[in-house]
Amino acid sequence: MKHIFVLRVGHRKRRDPRVSTHVALAARAFGAEEMFFSGDKDPELVEKISKAVTNWGGEFKVQYVRSWKAFLNTWKSRGKSVHLTMYGVSACDTIEEIRLIDRDLLIIVGGQKVPRELYDLADWNVSVTNQPHSEVSALAVFLHMLNEGKEFEYKFKGAKIIVLPSARGKKVMESVL
């Protein structure tokens, strides 16, 4: 696999800003390059993540796409796609095959309602257990499995804030670059 990208489908500006922010933060922390989102246009979401990147480093981006379907059809010439859904086949049974692809990977998470067509367009429909939970937990667990835990070692270039792990309390190093 070359690079990891995330597509968050069906963002609702009024109801989802927190969940979509957390999808983006989880995507970034666990090694994705960029999150695309469809649904409502939301400059505040883009701005919030851009601020987080300025503080916490790296080059993660967020971009709005008008049509998830057109985006996914175009994606097919660039790489493969995995749709995370409680109805899919277990991540335990598919993760090795997915890890072995030598193209970019797009991980798709839904919102309140996922269009039926998405199930047909994605290369894989994968579950993180067959119980309902959330796009944030599904994405984090899937990326953790895909990375085999290597996200614990990631360093983010240009970070202004770095957490110093400590058994108690909060220790942070702040640079004024």
62 within 8 A of 35, measured Cβ to Cβ:
yes
Question: Minimum distance between the CB of residue 89 and ligand SAM, rounded to whole angstroms?
Answer: 10
Question: Minimum distance between the CB of residue 156 and ligand SAM, rounded to whole angstroms?
Answer: 26
Question: Minimum distance between the CB of residue 165 and ligand SAM, rounded to whole angstroms?
Answer: 30
- Between 62 and 127, name the residue whose CB sits nearer to ligand SAM: 127
- Between 19 and 162, name the residue whose CB sits nearer to ligand SAM: 19
Question: Interface with ligand SAM by CB under 6 A: which residues?
Answer: 84-86, 109-111, 113-114, 127-129, 131-135, 138
- Between 56 and 83, name the residue whose CB sits nearer to ligand SAM: 83
44 within 8 A of 87, measured Cβ to Cβ:
no
- Between 92 and 163, name the residue whose CB sits nearer to ligand SAM: 92
CB atoms < 10 A from the CB of 46, how many?
Answer: 17
Question: Minimum distance between the CB of residue 177 and ligand SAM, rounded to whole angstroms?
Answer: 37
45 within 8 A of 78, measured Cβ to Cβ:
no
Q: Using CA atoms, how far apart are residues 88 and 60, in angstroms rounded to an integer?
A: 28
Residue nearest to ligand SAM (CB): 110
Could you give the residue ranges of the DSSP H alpha helices within 80-173? Answer: 91-99, 116-121, 135-147
Residue 37 bridge partners (DSSP) = 8, 64
